[in-house]
Amino acid sequence: MPSTLTHLECSRPGCGRTFDYSQPQNLCSACKAPLLARYDLAKAKRTFTLEALRGRIASMWRYEEVMLPGPPVTLGEGKTPLLQAPRLGDHLGLARLYIKEEGQNPTNSFKARGLSAAVTMAKRLGIGTIALPTAGNAGGAAAAYAAHAGLRCVIAMPSDTPAAIILECRAFGADVHLIDGLISDCGAFIAGNAAANGWYEVSTLKEPYRIEGKKTMGYELWEELDGTLPDVIVYPTGGGVGLIGMWKAFEELEAMGLIGSARPRMIAAQAEGCAPIVRAFQQHAPASVMWENATTVAAGLRVPKPLGDFLILADVYASGGEAVAVSDSELMSACVEMARLEGILGAPEGGAGLAVIQALVERGKLASDDTVVLFNTGSGYKYVEAWQAALL
């Protein structure tokens, strides 16, 4: 069955404005909140079943009823392995620890999912140039999918972004601007130049479709666990699109009658040098405050003020979850453990998630028989500098 996409809706509680997906859209014109894609789920449920999925293409586009209208701009993203981690689990005292290995996506990170979706809609809407700020992996994915689609791509990234990521963006033909500052400074550069240059912004949550690619991580967990969900999801949280997206997937699955109201506890993992969500969570605030002088070796977590902070926090609170920060030394030590016990060379962000799991075990927040899924969001091969420092 083709996509059942019907419209876009403002994500801000109490706003409720709707928008036409057949026109380029960014934020809500009234309250400047992110927009969410909405589907005819009553229609989708007629053909969306575990049985029906078994014969479909092995990519995130298998969920066609609740995905964007095609043809997709795809490099084979999604359907990443959910790996049981028995040696790491034994080390931590967890009998059912899994790693969702997103480093096996095209361009070696989970960002491939969101950018495949965003570029698919940009091409469908006749957009010629996409532009975005990035702390790293989103830039590489955007450049690759833009190249595959025949679109121009403009990227602004901090000048200290890992060298391998800068190289891949340039290799894919992107116009790369290195900015002395943080992703927020890069965002200001893109926003300040987009209108004059005819760029369409695909910044995190500034357009409605990256979240649609990221939500497929939630659908995959449901499918890989045979129609059930884990007890706990630990998600490295910078912009937080994947956490928001998975929560959206679970809401859609429930609306289609495929799961009940129970949800995994959503754990947002951050670095101590940039932890706006953790600070807001500790204060039980509805939104975060700009984190000054953000610094961490986990480049993807260096997001001082996520645009979707109110959505991240709402989902964490609703799930009975938590937001936890760890030090750079802890997250890189966890990366080394993941490599030596399971043969996975994780990104520093994935190490942050593992270090948070260890902290929660020590605090008695995880039971030995909980089904716990850690998202390793990317490959450590793109973070040579961080790994060299960790192994010295």
Tokens of 183: 């992703």
- For residue 220, give every residue at least 6 positions away whose Cβ sits within 8 Å of its Cβ, in sequence order, or none: 60, 78, 79, 80, 82, 100
CATH fold match for the domains 82-104+215-391 and 111-201: yes
Please give the CATH number for the structural domain made up of 82-104+215-391: 3.40.50.1100
pLDDT at 1 over 80: no
Q: Which of 114, 332, 377 is CA-nearest to residue 234?
A: 377
The count of residues in the chain is 392
- Can you give the pLDDT at residue 217? 98
Instruction: Return the SS3 of 375.
Output: strand
- For residue 142, give every residue at least 6 positions away whose Cβ sits within 8 Å of its Cβ, in sequence order, or none: 111, 115, 118, 119, 130, 132, 134, 153, 155, 174, 202
Amino acid at 168: E
219 vs 144: CA distance, rounded Å? 24
- Can you give the pLDDT at residue 50? 97
250 vs 95: CA distance, rounded Å? 25
Looking up tokens 């989902």, which residue turns up? 315
Q: Which of 390, 247, 358, 391 is CA-nearest to residue 312?
A: 247
- What pLDDT digit, counting tens, does each position of 263-303 carry? 999 999 999 999 999 999 999 999 999 999 999 999 999 99
Q: Where are the chain's structural domains? A: 5-66, 82-104+215-391, 111-201
pLDDT at 319 over 90: yes
Whole-model pTM? 0.97
- What pLDDT digit, counting tens, does each position of 75-103 carry? 999 999 999 999 999 999 999 999 999 99
Q: Which residues pair with 152 in a beta bridge?
A: 129
Amino acid at 291: W
- Can you give the pLDDT at residue 136? 84
pLDDT at 135 over 90: no
Phi and psi (nearest 5°) for 310? -65, -30
Tokens of 195: 């209108």
- What pLDDT digit, counting tens, does each position of 177-210 carry? 999 999 899 999 999 999 999 999 999 999 999 9
Please give the CATH number for the structural domain made up of 111-201: 3.40.50.1100
